[in-house]
Structure 1
């Protein structure tokens, strides 16, 4: 090992830890919110549809002002944007959990949506810097840390709900933890100016599609991009359903305790974490097409059986099956879109990413309105329906790559 390598390597390890901490706190934030949504809904005296509309303020903020992420990173660097935005997001969540006003709650979620979009681009941009210097893929591990943070946050939220800790004081503790972890993370991150190509790539992931690029796309490519978008939406809708509605469904319709009700979200995120750790090996062995089809089938079977034969533990198991099923669906759809022949770099990824964000905007109000008209059980039935869509459309994804024939073993 050279002297230079011995100096750089500890710096990279620290930077990797710093990025991992930011990803984890991003998951902790939503993990703490999910189990407390039934209490927040009751405190604000909202119907399911009203809660769904309020929750839609999150993606509205993300879509509306998330485009500023690239400019902020160019001006202030990804490390600063990620940490400051993460701290601002935690404080906005605290404001949302401390209010008795629906308007203030919606405004707080709008700010959370804006800052969450900035964190998303900045943490991925900095993670790409670290990955490039590492010389090998470590990005999936960062996203696994997000899932781990969501599990930890869900357990924290479930415990606080079971102990009947007021949402305000629960979120004070959550905010203190998130702020402290990000202050530690900032000291570990890479120094110096941001590489321009990484900034542009990260910003493009959060951007609206560029009209100048899209007008020249032939119809066949549009159909493939639409199929990949629906696959990503199938995974995203399941994740959003667990975050927004699983605790309410388990508490209100299946009479679970507040702590047990948190396990629906924890189950999905926990098994998604496992799926992300093992997903790359599965894709290398069987191909993205087969893995996506199996994932869609798991969502159909898991949530289909759970909704057809409702029980507390069956529903928790169903969310777990959905979690491992969707683990690689969104990254796989993004990867397939980014590598589509005939498109400029980033165009396919941008289209699929933007349509997925639009689906996150529509998901909470649609499920909420269906729940008001019928029940949450019926509203959640969209999950297995979209699992069928994933299964049927997975043919647009890459099959298994044939490995080269092994060389003869030496005598």
Structure 2
């Protein structure tokens, strides 16, 4: 079992990397799609809403499928569909078909995300040592390479569509190779039976998402995840339109953010163990807000990128604190609280950027980014005042 667990841990890390690569590869494509389809910011925001809608719609379904067929089956097929969808985003010339493609992309990303986190928990249980922070760190590493990959391949002389096809092929190759090392459904069920806690065996009748603690933590996660979604969907447009960066290099903003977040997440277990959760949340939120306001106010690209780095540093380890607190809510099993908080959080990451699009259309993209900074300050204040 030890050798199987070691192989499964490495394979799970590869899947987190793939998911980060897949979703972040969309970031440098956004300006191309916006220009090709002749979209204003509100139209683009509506399309991005479909990306989030697909993810949120499929997250509950992913849990059902994973329970029935096992997480590795769900990971394999949803990741392949995700990869095959990417090149289409550079070919489609109809806003309606682009919306459908983004819905599919969001749905596959949401499905992979839920399944890989569920698989990661089982690997962690089998390893009997924490690995989740490092897994999410690899997701951010994938985000870095995905944001830079398209532009890098184009610099080498590939057309945008050829670059997207190359990335899709790489994703399929990684998933196909690592699939055999993931736990099968029978192993997962054995681990669930072995490591189920008494709190997970309680009667779930009457337990609701509407419990105050869940709503509070869900809103906190929504705010923090929205900042991540903003970097994915709007950082390239922000640097292109507001700072005058070349379109093929516009993905560097998300890359800077991802480097900072990946580094802090890889160090996250040590940081949280040395500082209180409250300190991590309050301090991180203030640093993140400062980064956003710096990116808005500075006229230079370099300092805008520094602002994105500060956002990544500040936001990186906030959500793990919320998840840990969610697992300790009195009279609510972690199996109820964590999925509820996660769904509200990912609504911010995947659907929240659509809200930013409407704000940008009515006012400006700077005002939309300032809204993110204000949300992070609200997180710091409300969590600090909470007993």
TM-score for the superposition, normalised by structure 2: 0.90
2:200: which partner in 1? none
User: What is the RMSD computed on CA atoms of the aligned residues?
Assistant: 2.5
C-alpha displacement of 1:198:
7.0
Confirm whether residue 25 of structure 1 aligns to residue 18 of structure 2.
yes
* Aligned residues of 1:96 and 1:104 also touching (Cα < 8 A): no
Provide closer, same or farther for how the CA distance between residues 265 and 197 of structure 1 changes in structure 2, counting only shifts above 3 A. Answer: farther
SS at match of 1:109: helix
Which residue of 2 is the match for residue 310 of structure 1?
299
Looking at structure 1, the residues matched to 186 and 135 of structure 2 have their Cα atoms a distance apart, in angstroms, of: 22
In structure 2, the residue matched to 1:293 is 282
Residues 5-52 of structure 1, C-alpha deviation per residue, up to 9 Å, x if partnerless?
A: xxx333222211111111101101122110121011111111111111
CA deviations on 1:110-166 (whole Å, 9 max, x unpaired) are 111222222112212222222222111112211111111111111112324667854
Residue 84 in 1 paired to residue 77 in 2? Answer: yes
- 1:56 aligns with 49
Report the Cα offset of residue 230 of structure 1.
2.8
In structure 1, C-alpha distance between the alignment counterparts of 2:79 and 2:325, rounded to whole Å: 30
User: SS where residue 343 of structure 1 aligns?
Assistant: coil
2:334 equivalent in structure 1: 345
Contact 1:288 1:397 in 2 (8 A): no
Matched, 1:266 2:259: no
Within a 5 Å distance, the mapping from 1:366-405 to structure 2 comes to 366-395=355-384
TM-score by length of 1: 0.85
Instruction: Please give the per-residue CA displacement for 1:306-363, whole angstroms capped at 9, x wherever unaligned.
Output: 2123321111110110001010112221221221123233333233223223334542
Q: Equivalent residue of 2:332, what SS?
A: coil
Q: Point out where structure 1 has 5 or more consecutive residues left out of the alignment.
A: 1-7, 202-209, 399-411
Query: Would the aligned equivalents of 1:23 and 1:145 in 2 still touch at CA under 8 Å?
Result: yes
Q: Is the 8 A contact 2:228 2:349 kept in 1?
A: no
Aligned length: 379
Q: Deviations over 1:370-406 (max 9, x none)?
A: 22233211111112101211211223789xxxxxxxx
2:270 maps to: 281
CA, structure 1 residues 231+354, in 2 after alignment: closer, same or farther (shift >3 Å)? same
Structure 1 residue aligned with 2:165: 172
- Which of 127, 130, 133 lines up with 1:140 in the alignment? 133
Which of 1 and 2 has greater Rg?
Answer: 1
Could you tell me which residue of structure 2 aligns to residue 214 of structure 1?
208
Gaps of 5+ in 2: 196-203
The answer to whether the 8 A contact 2:21-2:146 is kept is yes
Which of 236, 250, 254 aligns to 1:247? It is: 236
Deviation string for 1:188-247 (max 9, x for gaps)? Answer: 22345153487799xxxxxxxx993128x7xxx51x333322321221111011101111
Q: Secondary structure of the equivalent of 2:183?
A: coil
